Amino acid sequence: MSAYAFYNAGDFDACIGAATRYVTLHPGSADAAYAQYPDRGPRITIRSRIFRVTRAAPKRPSPRWEEVVRKYPTSEYATSAKAKLEGARDQLAGKEMNVGRYYMDKRDYTAAINRFKTVVTQYQTTRHVEEALARLTEAYMAIGIVGEAQTAAAVLGHNFPDSKWYKDAYIL
């Protein structure tokens, strides 16, 4: 309740401190998941601060969500945290795709391949994998590495046989 009171008073640092102390002292409590859930803590509303936070940690979603899922898997917050983790991973994959497309437009195929490979290897559960495999096929064909292009197209066809991206990759 003290964390909640600090939050309502706008004292976000004290809110985080109180929530952290509670979780440390009572890790098995039914309310520990609530105290640890990131959206229940202070929300940053100043645009410049959000931008700084986003730019500071572009490689992975909030470790607090992962901790809630790991420590409190049956909690009502675990389901929401899983959804937020997937959403964050999807956004990170989308960022990689945008950069990869940029490199394709600039005909820097090696840089594009690196970005698309990142999507395929680190963000396998996102909606961007399909396009990343097709773009890998396109980039490999552009630089003449037919074997790798065929491999990427085969993986795409195996995992997404009815995809429009597979049809385009197959034509290539």
Task: Please indicate, yes or no, whether the overall pTM of this predicted structure exceeds 0.85.
Answer: no
CB 90 within 8 A of CB 128: yes
Spatial distance between the Cα atoms of 155 and 133, rounded to a whole number of angstroms: 8
Closest CA to 36 of 65, 5, 73, 10: 65
Determine what percent of the chain is predicted with pLDDT higher than 90.
42
Q: Where are the domains of the chain?
A: 1-56, 58-172
Class (C level, CATH) for 58-172: mainly alpha
- pLDDT value of residue 44: 37
Q: What are phi and psi of 69, to 5 degrees?
A: -65, -40
Per residue of the chain (172 residues), what is the pLDDT tens digit? 777 777 778 777 777 777 777 777 777 776 766 666 555 444 433 333 434 444 444 456 667 778 888 888 888 888 888 888 888 889 999 999 999 999 999 999 999 999 999 999 999 999 999 999 999 999 999 999 999 999 999 999 999 999 899 888 888 8
Spatial distance between the Cα atoms of 123 and 130, rounded to a whole number of angstroms: 11
